[in-house]
Amino acid sequence: MQTLLIHTFTRHEVEKLDFQRFDALFSHWPQLWARELRPKLDSLVLLVDGYNDHPDEVYLIPEVRAFFRALHQRWPWWCYFLNLESQSLQMTYLCLIDSVQSIKRDGSPSCAATFDPSEIADILMADLGRMNWLWEHAGLPESENDCRSDQILNAFNGGASHG
């Protein structure tokens, strides 16, 4: 059974671009030995707290977007570590692109994100290369790498839903 690690950024951390707590917990992950690196695959969920009353989706809030853009520059290992089932991966990547918009139908509690697929593809291609490096370092099977790469790309195929 896989262990999920949920890391919640506070509104204060987001607004101050404060990465101290995150760095202390996760900055060393890409340098782990293979046996320590393997269980970290697909294990991290990133959340943001303090914007529950904000009218926009979290990936559209300027402060959150700036925060995740800065985090991605500091720690671009998301494709390996972020959990695919939690929508954490989609939320974080949507913060990185300029073309993202949110569409909500009247009366529906959920919305959909629309974006230019080429914009996100450029970022993902670089990050999948980083994931491949970690994958090789961890000694994981190439066939599983291909499967995860497909899952990541499919998470953004035709837009992402957000509930």
> CA 141, CA 155: separation in Å to the nearest integer?
22
**Cβ proximity of 104 and 58 under 8 Å:** no
What is the number of domains present in the chain? 1
Specify the pLDDT at position 128: 96
User: Which tens digit of pLDDT belongs to each residue from 76-97?
Assistant: 999 999 999 988 898 899 999 9
> CA 61, CA 65: separation in Å to the nearest integer?
6
- Which structural domain range is residue 82 located in? 5-162
Long-range pairs of 127-131 with CB within 8 A, sequence gap ≥ 24 = 127/76, 127/77, 127/78, 127/79, 128/79, 128/152, 130/76, 130/77, 130/79, 130/80, 131/77, 131/79, 131/80
> CA 139, CA 16: separation in Å to the nearest integer?
38
Walk along the chain (163 residues) in steps of 10 and give the mean pLDDT of each run: 90 98 97 95 96 86 95 96 91 89 69 80 94 95 95 76 40
